[in-house]
Amino acid sequence: MTNRKIKILIADDSLTVRNFLVKVFSLDPGIEVIGTAIDGQEAIEFVKKNRPDIITMDINMPRLDGFEATLKIMQENPIPIVIVSGDYNTTDTAKTFKALECGAVAILPRPVGVGNPDFDETVHRFVSNVKLLSEVKVIRRWNRIYNSSVTQENPNTIKDITQPIRIITLGASAGGPLVLQQILKNIPSNISVPILIVQHLDVEFAQGYADWLNIQSNIPIKIAKDGDILTAGVAYMAPGNHHIGVKAYNTILVSKDSKEKGHRPSVAFMFRSVREVFRNQVLAIILSGMGDDGAEELKLLKDKGAITIAQDFDSSLIHGMPGEAIRIGAASYILSPDQIIQFIKRNVSLSIK
C-alpha cells in the first residue's frame, strides 16, 4: 500500500467555488490540492510545470473556457479531467456533455453547501468519484477517441444469430456517456426494436444528457415515463433517481424502488425486468463503468438463452462492470463499441420479420 496523496488541480474562475472545493478536498487526508487556476489558460500553464493526478474543471471561464482547456491538455499532457458543474439548467447541462468529446472523463455535480443537510453525503460521493477517476489511464483513452484508425471488426468474432431479438438494453456507468453516444448515432434509424438505457447519472443531468444524445443520435432518445408504450426505433432512458424496466411486451415500468448496488437507476433492475418479460428475446449490453451493477443479472439473461455483450477492456474507460460480467461468464460476446454497432446492424434490424 502506498501513502502517496492524490494531487489535484482546481480550475474555476470563481474564488468562492475554488475555496469551497479546496475545503471539500481538505476533508480527505488522501488528497492534496497542489494548485488552483482562474481560467483554462492558467490550467494549461500549470500542467506544463506540474503533474497533478486529476483536474477539476469549470466550463465557463474567461480567456480560455473549459472545453478548449480540456482539449489542449488532452492533446499535450493527458491527465484525467473531471467537469464540475453547479448549473443544472437543462440547456447548459446538455452543452456541458460536449466536454466528454474534448476528453473529459466525467461530469460531476458540485457538492451542496456546508449548511445543507445533504452536505456530508454529496461530499462523500463527489470525493470518492474524483479519487476513483484519478486512476483512469487517459493516454490510452485519448488515442482511442481521436485516432482515426478505429478498432477493426473481426469477422470471426461477430457471428449472425438466428433467434429473434425484441428489445435491446444498454447499461453503463463511468465512461458510458461517450460510448452510448457512439452506439446510438450509428444505429440504423429503421431499427425494428425499442431500446432501454440505464446510465448512472446524478438526477440533475438526466434530461441534459438525453438532449445531448439527441443531437447526434440516429433514433429519438426519450426520458421514460411509467406506462409509456414501447415503440420500435425509440430509445428510452431512465429518468434521474428512478429505475427503468418493462411491465409487459409493450409497456415501460418506471419505479422508485430501493437502490440496487447503490444505484437508482440500476442496470440490475433493468436486466432482471426484461428477463421476466422477454425471456431469451433480449440483446443485453453492459458497457464501461465502476463496480459490478448488472453483472449477475446479465449472467441470468445469458443462462435464459438471451444474447449478452460486455464491452472489451481496451475500449473501456473503466472496466469494472463489463470486467465483472466477463469474469463470471455472463458475456456471450466481448466486443468494442464498433463491433457492438456492427453486431446490431447485422442481427437486430432484420430480426423481426
DSSP character at residue 173: -
Q: Which entry of 13, 65, 202, 293 is annotated as an active-site residue? A: 293
CA gap 86, 111 in Å, rounded: 8
Pairing of strands 235-237, 54-57: unpaired
Burial class of residue 289 in the structure, from the number of CB atoms within 10 Å of its CB (0-12 exposed, 13-18 middle, 19+ buried): buried
**Active-site residue among 12, 13, 134, 200?**
200
CA distance 214 to 185: 9
Given a contact cutoff of 8 angstroms between Cβ atoms, the answer to whether 168 and 285 are in contact is yes
CA–CA distance from 294 to each of 92, 238, 285 (Å)? 31, 15, 10
User: Which class for 45: exposed (0-12), middle (13-18), buried (19 or more C-beta within 10 A)?
Assistant: exposed
Is 243 an active-site residue?
no
Question: Is 173 marked active-site?
Answer: yes
Which of the following is catalytic: 85, 173, 266, 336?
173
Q: Output the DSSP codes for 305-319.
A: T-EEEEE-TTT-SSB
Hey, which residues are catalytic here? 173, 200, 293
